[in-house]
Structure 1
Amino acid sequence: MTLSPPSPAHPTGRSGAELAGLPATVLARLIRDREVSAAEVTAAALDRVQALDDDLHAFVELTAAGARTRAAEIDAALARGDEVGALAGVPVAIKDLIATRGITTRSGSPAYATFIPDEDDIVVERLRAADAVILGKTTVPELGFSAVADNPVSPTARNPWDPTRTPGGSSAGSGVAVATGMVPLALGSDGGGSVRIPASLCGVYGLKASMGRVPLYPGCRDERYPGMSSWETLEHIGPMTRTVDDAALLMSVIAGPDPRDRHSIPTADVDWRATAANPDLSGLRVAYAPDLGYLPVDPEVRRVVGAAARVFADRLGCEVVEADPGLTNPQAHFWALVFNDTDLDGMRAMVAEHGPRMSPHLVELVLRPWTAEDFSRAQTARKRLVNQMWRFMSDYDLLVTPTLAVPAFPVGFQGPDSIDGRMTGPGSWLGFLNPFNLTGQPAASVPAGFTAHGLPVGMQIVGRHLADATVLAASAAFEATAPWASSWPACVAATSTGSTS
């Protein structure tokens, strides 16, 4: 990827590689104290993109000129003695399903290949107000209707730990960008696991807060945009970061109600920064469900997550009980719930115009002969699941599971055909995730360790309804016992032997 004009030198003496490896919380403080400039930090981020993204394809739209301009404006404001926002010149990447005014938002689809939104999504408004530097838009599968990174309009994103493998989806490029230090902060969205999937496969932290904590509009809400207006009762926008503290910083900016989202809720009960800084789990009851009672799980995943779950008892003062929540597997009803939230007429018109160039699995879903009974059964299954979960969680403060049933698998597949010797149906490898989109409970994926072949494995931490602070505190406490931010893919180490400028 060629950038023009070239990045400036780094006059503070900090190399670009050093700046690209720092957390957002540290960068914001350094920029605000004028120990480094926002221009230097932006240059370092763009240099890292230039060094790696021809091979990894994290970005579909790089807004280099705009990023440099915004960084210069922030530096000028600081030089005048003006106050700047919480993100103070920190580079941020935005998933290409999230609307950005004046920046192409393709959503991985030929139907939106030239679409430039006329307004920002609420979260982007808040990023700009907090003085973030938007570096660009990241790779997604078409309209988010897949858990891997393929789409018809841009190259497939690659897993930085092994570029022959998938980074997952649908927040694919955001996971890659954070895992490699292209940015310290990225936004993902999660309608069925799409923050937690790439977080697990790329070895970063991903948080899906309670439904409504982070408001959405126009995403999932604007009837003008078929496909983009889907997932209304399932979708969450959340942070993808290298540290829990960085996620708390980003949540402090993007969370909070907005009248444009009828599902949005207040956040006065959560002090994101303080919770991450001072976690205390003493006396909490934690349920560990290694397979939810019905899912096949790769033995390496089971080994890594089992060891990570024991940390809550051995080092964090929790009571840990292996427990089966007794859930009825909702997988058979998931797509009916998605399409019950969807402008099906609009999407079928889209398929009529663009179908030969669209993803075949998406076309098949749109053209499926959905019935009222399909939607009714799905809603009933959702109610059953919600009731099963609140009853189970009344005995526990947290539920811990693997994030995914498998580590990263080769690019070009929608998922494995078998897991631990058992043939699996479509989506079985994702079975730990979408139940908590249906219930709206907070859930995070934390890096738990690596397989014997060096692939990241994530552990999912789920809280009670609206117990976001408990999930964030558990994430921070676990991170303190097994810090992961110093682990970098080999491709990053190859760029970090000196300044990338």
Structure 2
Amino acid sequence: MDRAARDEICRLSATELASRIRNSEVSPLEAVDAVLDRTAELDPALHAYCTPVPDQARARARRIGERLAHGEEVGPLAGVPIGVKDLIATRGIRTTSGSPAYEDFVPDEDDIVVERVLGAGAVVLGKTNATEFGYSAVGHNPVFPATRNPWNTALTPGGSSAGSAAAVASGLGPVSLGSDGGGSVRVPAAHCGLVGFKAAMGRVPVWPGCRDERYPGVSGWESLEHIGPLTRTVADAALMMSVLAGPDPRDRHSIPCGDVDWNGAPDGAGVQGLRVAYSADLGYLAVDPEVRRVVDAAVGVLEKDLGCRVEAVDPGWDDPAEAFAALIAAETDLTGMRRLVDEHGDRMTPHLVAMMRRRWTAEEFTDANIVRKAVVNRTARLMSTYDLLVTPTAAVPPFAVGIQGPGRIDGREVADTAWTGFTFPANLTGQPAVSVPAGWTRDGLPVGLHIVGRHLADAQVLRAAAAFERAAPWAHRWPAGC
């Protein structure tokens, strides 16, 4: 296959690629070979994949091709190459969680979402790089080289689903699975010019991740964690959700999804007249002026081009960042994690080690739950008036690789994590939320628009995202060299 044909396949959306495979225009093996060839060329500079499995991927592609040739129904993702975040369990494929403590760990079972994408005919290309146990919104960990942003390889792609975002943004697979406990799908989507969707809590079952008591670090974040897709288009996000969503008895938080027509949701209908609350800073966050400029313009598209009724709001809660950190600790196996820190702490991420060694009190944990209730209640009151809450996704554009955050935003000294403050409230409440490309800075870096819906209003979030996508298209834009 020549380079032009290869790159044409690699730039197809998952929806289009699946259609061409069904129509015998592209074989599953051709699709996988094209992506693996492109990965061999680009990934040495990006480090999107930490554990690639090319031989396994080719063998599966051949089997799927044979089944299609015999007229078998394989599934809606038949032959589509996909990356899986290194925090999501894959039977027989190393899953390190970005930690020295699990450097050689190979799970004995798949996560439910992996079962489902395999059942739908997808081909797993390998594991995508992530921060250690997902405790950072950047792209480096102590085990593998840092993942870099395809738009500028000196910069972070965001995280913790860093490799999943970098892979899709550079055409190393049309879709990837990420996980999102505080923005870890949506933040890297914003920094890489992608769609990152976090469905309402329970729409996508999570197991054994967050639940498996055998593995400290892997077993945390139970009431916060979501798994969702990173894609180039809203239609691809909806396609992935049609496969991922639905209850499973192994996840006690999972809920039915019969109220959502996932593939019909991105038709963009019904957006005119929606009541949209816009908060540029949630009342307390420092925001980079370029981010504010780009998102203000995107909100103007919602109002002027799409007919939404937009009002500026202050949601009315104080910064819940300290409470969020305490909730993470409260849902962590502190005993087990402290044991891992005693054994591997000299190689683990310093801020993670500090968090595990901190002597938390019961009052800090119960106070955090009260703060969470306040955010949930005030959000519910806000959303009784509005259909959507819109903000920036990240407070800053991509910044240098190797640090946790810029530390200074718009002239203000801030905590290293303050730039992620727009996303984690939707994890506290469990509301559906998506990041879509709002536009680009003057330096050509992506900026994300964060759209949050009412409780269980997943379809409306996708409709709004699709309507904005049509009004301000982005999927034709690719990083230089990709």
Q: Specify the alignment match of 2:136 in structure 1.
A: 146
User: Matches of 2:234 and 2:138 in 1, distance apart?
Assistant: 24
CA-CA distance at 1:81 after TM superposition? 1.3
SS in 2 for 1:193: coil
Q: Specify the alignment match of 1:116 in structure 2.
A: 106
For residues 44-193 of structure 1, the aligned pairs below 5 Å read 44-193=34-183
User: Matches of 1:278 and 1:297 in 2, distance apart?
Assistant: 29
CA-CA distance at 1:14 after TM superposition? 7.2
Q: Specify the alignment match of 1:459 in structure 2.
A: 449
Q: Specify the alignment match of 1:375 in structure 2.
A: 365
2:387 pairs, out of 381, 397, 408, with: 397
SS in 2 for 1:345: helix
1:30 pairs, out of 13, 20, 23, with: 20
Say if 2:236 is the partner of 1:235: no
Q: Specify the alignment match of 1:21 in structure 2.
A: 11
Q: Specify the alignment match of 2:204 in structure 1.
A: 214
State the AA in 1 paired with 2:467: A
State the AA in 2 paired with 1:194: S
SS in 1 for 2:260: coil
State the AA in 1 paired with 2:176: A
Structure 2: segments with no counterpart, 5+ residues = none
User: Matches of 1:324 and 1:112 in 2, distance apart?
Assistant: 43
CA-CA distance at 1:279 after TM superposition? 2.9
The Cα offsets for residues 109-130 of structure 1, whole Å up to 9 and x where unpaired, read as 0100010000000000001100
Moved over 2 A (4+): 277-280
Say if 2:405 is the partner of 1:415: yes
Q: Specify the alignment match of 2:347 in structure 1.
A: 357
- Does structure 2 retain, via aligned residues, the 8 Å contact 1:280–1:477? no
Q: Specify the alignment match of 2:313 in structure 1.
A: 323
2:480 pairs, out of 490, 496, 500, with: 490
Q: CA RMSD in A?
A: 1.0
The Cα offsets for residues 43-85 of structure 1, whole Å up to 9 and x where unpaired, read as 1110111110000000001110011011111111111111111
For residues 420-431 of structure 1, the aligned pairs below 5 Å read 420-431=410-421
State the AA in 2 paired with 1:134: V
- Does structure 1 retain, via aligned residues, the 8 Å contact 2:182–2:225? yes
Structure 1: segments with no counterpart, 5+ residues = 1-8, 493-501
Q: Specify the alignment match of 2:301 in structure 1.
A: 311
SS in 2 for 1:294: coil
Determine what percentage of the aligned residue pairs are the same residue: 61
CA-CA distance at 1:282 after TM superposition? 1.8
User: Matches of 1:216 and 1:491 in 2, distance apart?
Assistant: 36
User: Matches of 2:190 and 2:454 in 1, distance apart?
Assistant: 21
SS in 2 for 1:286: strand
CA-CA distance at 1:374 after TM superposition? 0.8
User: Matches of 1:41 and 1:176 in 2, distance apart?
Assistant: 19
User: Matches of 2:460 and 2:146 in 1, distance apart?
Assistant: 36
SS in 2 for 1:29: helix
SS in 2 for 1:249: helix
Q: Specify the alignment match of 1:498 in structure 2.
A: none
- Does structure 2 retain, via aligned residues, the 8 Å contact 1:326–1:388? yes
State the AA in 2 paired with 1:199: A
2:323 pairs, out of 322, 333, 340, with: 333
State the AA in 2 paired with 1:146: S
User: Matches of 2:148 and 2:158 in 1, distance apart?
Assistant: 9
Q: Specify the alignment match of 1:495 in structure 2.
A: none
Number of aligned positions between the proteins? 482
Q: Specify the alignment match of 2:435 in structure 1.
A: 445
User: Matches of 1:142 and 1:204 in 2, distance apart?
Assistant: 23
SS in 2 for 1:152: coil
Superposition TM-score, scaled by structure 2 size: 0.99
State the AA in 2 paired with 1:127: V
Q: Specify the alignment match of 1:5 in structure 2.
A: none
Superposition TM-score, scaled by structure 1 size: 0.95
SS in 2 for 1:356: coil
State the AA in 2 paired with 1:435: P
CA-CA distance at 1:107 after TM superposition? 0.7
CA-CA distance at 1:278 after TM superposition? 4.5
- Does structure 1 retain, via aligned residues, the 8 Å contact 2:268–2:464? no
CA-CA distance at 1:35 after TM superposition? 1.0
CA-CA distance at 1:173 after TM superposition? 0.3
